[in-house]
Amino acid sequence: MSPTPVSALPMPTHHSARTRLFARLLPLLLATPVAALADIQEDSFITDLPLVLSASRLSQPQRDTPGTVTVIDRATIQRSGARSVAELLRGVPGFQIGYRTGYFPLVTYHGLSDEAPRRLLVRIDGRSAYSPYLISGTEWHMLSLDLDDIERIEVFRGSNAAAFGSQAFMGVVNIVTRSAAETRGVGVKLAQGNNTIKDRATTIGLAQGPLSVRLSAGVEGDDGLRDLHDRYKRTRADLRAELQIDQANRLEVHAGSVRLRGGLGEPGDLANPIRTLRQTSNFGQLRWLWEPNATDSLSVTYYRQEERGRDAFTVSTALNLTPGQLARLSAQEKQLVGALLGLLGQIDTRVAYSNGVSREDLEIEHVFSASDALRMVWGLGTRSDEIRAPGIFTIDRIRYRNSRAFGSVEWHPSEAWLLNASLMMEKGSYVGTLTSPRIAANYHLSDQHTLRASYGHGYRRPTPFERQADTRLSDIGSGLLLRQLFQPSPDLEAERISTFDLGYRGEFKALDAMLDIRLFEERLANMTRRDENTPGSLQQNLTLPGVGSIPLPPILELLPDTTRPVRFYSDDKARIRGIEIESSWRPHRKLLLGATYTHLNIRSPNVRAERSAPRHSGSLLGSWQMTERWNFTVAHHRVGQMSWFRAGRSILPAYNRTDLRLAHRFDLRDASGEFAIVARNLGRRHADFKGDLITPREWFATVSMSF
């Protein structure tokens, strides 16, 4: 069995009784009584570590990676009781999870994020799920995956632009799904609970000779967050097929579709009123893999992805001025106001956030061994994005292109030393060619203890939204500009990051335990800053008979919801230093324990950046196989105080969160199944994004059957 990473419980910022308890528990998690060793199974999970791909594109055990990788294995996913991929990342050191709405999770690593995180790459079986067309980087609520189809999730903690490009600016979440050949028969899963939780899913696995096919489909939904109009229903389908042409050649087809209908908006907001959002996402992927032997391979991957969003509405607002406002106007302005009142007794504004996006991506990757001590991977790729959102950009179509060349070399100069060098070169829209290098060295003190050090430099290319957004609200009848939400930022530069890591990984086979420690410094420059005080953007003249051409800013300031637009600037910076600790221990074959701890120190001229991540966070996890059929899992999270960008000026207080799951496996005549009860977010009520958005408690039951 693979080592089970832990969920996250951050530490308090003061020396409370809870802090002292955590400090006492941590050493206990790493030491085993001699009497307990006799009960450990022979198939220790430490001796079956998975090979990961998300560090350097080379298949490696975790002790050989040029950085820190957390693996969330299949057993952990099943025991978690999670309903989405985003929820699984609560257990990874350094990650922050919040919910903007009940169906829109926000996931960031080391903070520095607003309501649209865009510095983290998500890959699914080699396909990038990073879609920065409009605002955010990854729309987690639009993934077509069924959690039961995931084999493991590899999380590379730290910038990995050297291996995967600018989208991996702060890290990589690499999702590996199970082979279709591993799925047989029919599986059904039902979940029902409070807050109208109602999830339904089914999986069908078929095999005929060299062809294997898996089809998963499901419907999920609930009432969202309290006091927010965000009830949703998501329908998804995912297909994976594999054809083993011969011993060396395999063809893989992966396709998926998601349909979302969700509530959105806030009462009284001209630019964001109460309404219903409709989104669709479809993709198709084709991959050919040639593996002539155990060390060499060649793959060609092509995918096409299309997204559609239907979000258009009309807002009507009466133009009423108070006597005090009229008294401040000149005679000429009063004449203009009279004309406006006559022409625009009611202002009707058509808002069109609807959009359509398509992406095509082609990549070739070659892995080979030059000798027993030297392995290499190199590849080429090209990507083309086309965006159609005239209501957001004021132009009909935007094309966004990227081409890339990458390579990584792994060299064993001796039995103890392993050296790695990686390089990514990208050429694309806006900022030309970017080069991201990394060098790393691992020293094996023994087969159980490894020291590692790495230094890397990377970039994040501006997104089309950051560079070209030009969103305006105008009166339908007169064309009068009422409000400009975003203004283009043509001078925006690429963000830069330099990362230095020191680490230790210990695999204590006799104790069936693991300890991983990461010390790091991350220096960010040219960080994108969002400024909401851009002057002079609402200049517009109106010509009336007998009045002539008159500039309108003094008048527009009297109109409802008139504000200055947002513009982006490349003049922010930050330095992040800290330590991340991850450990797991099996004192008995029926008991698994885990703990994590993260300390972050962010320094920046921008005070919002300094408080954008908790200084202390951590977790405790326990999973007890009470009998052959009964399992009980508990995860406790502690998150220190923090504040998301633009989520209100108040800082979110520190909070605790506890999740429980009790499961029972059973057998019927021709089927097997599991019944589970899940309680999530126990403890005091708290907010994880904005102070007035309270995260609800969840209670639900699940029934799974396999035929």
Name the least confident of 291-300, 527-536, 634-643. Answer: 527-536
Beta strands 121-124 and 127-128 are antiparallel
Rg of the chain (C-alpha set)? 27
pLDDT at position 2: 36
Band the pLDDT of 49: cuts 50, 70, 90.
Answer: low
Distance CA 458, CA 521 (A): 14
Would you say 486 and 451 are in contact if contact means Cβ atoms under 8 Å apart?
no
Name the least confident of 35-49, 146-160, 252-266, 669-683. Answer: 35-49
> Is the model's pLDDT at 300 over the cut of 80?
yes
Higher pLDDT, 477 or 369: 369
DSSP string, 431-473: TEEEEEEEEEEEEESSSSEEEEEEEEEEEEPPPHHHHH---EE
pLDDT at position 669: 85
Distance CA 314, CA 316 (A): 7
> Is the model's pLDDT at 174 over the cut of 80?
yes
Band the pLDDT of 226: cuts 50, 70, 90.
Answer: confident
Q: Where are the alpha helices (DSSP H) in 328-440?
A: 331-343, 390-393
| Sequence ranges of the domains in the chain | 17-201+208-482+509-706
pLDDT at position 483: 74
pLDDT at position 524: 98
| 346 to 221, 319, 322, 475, 538: CA distances (angstroms) | 38, 6, 16, 9, 20
pLDDT at position 611: 93
Start-to-end C-alpha separation, the chain: 24
Band the pLDDT of 314: cuts 50, 70, 90.
Answer: confident
The architecture (CATH level 2) of 17-201+208-482+509-706 comes to Beta Barrel (2.40)
> What integer is the mean pLDDT of 240-267?
95
> Is the model's pLDDT at 377 over the cut of 80?
yes
Cβ of 476: how many Cβ atoms within 10 Å?
Answer: 12
pLDDT at position 19: 43
pLDDT tens profile 613-634:
999 999 999 999 999 999 999 9
> What integer is the mean pLDDT of 167-183?
94
Name the least confident of 170-174, 247-251, 316-320, 340-344. Answer: 340-344
Angle subtended at Cα 663 by Cα 659 and Cα 664, rounded to the nearest 5 degrees: 170
> What integer is the mean pLDDT of 372-396?
94
pLDDT at position 121: 95
> Is the model's pLDDT at 302 over the cut of 50?
yes
The fraction of the chain above a pLDDT of 90, given in percent, is 69
Band the pLDDT of 556: cuts 50, 70, 90.
Answer: very low
> What integer is the mean pLDDT of 110-118?
90
Higher pLDDT, 687 or 646: 687
pLDDT tens profile 471-503:
887 767 666 676 788 899 999 999 999 999 999
pLDDT at position 317: 63
Report the chain's mean pLDDT, rounded to a whole number: 86
pLDDT at position 211: 97
Max CA distance (Å), the chain: 98
> Is the model's pLDDT at 266 over the cut of 90?
no
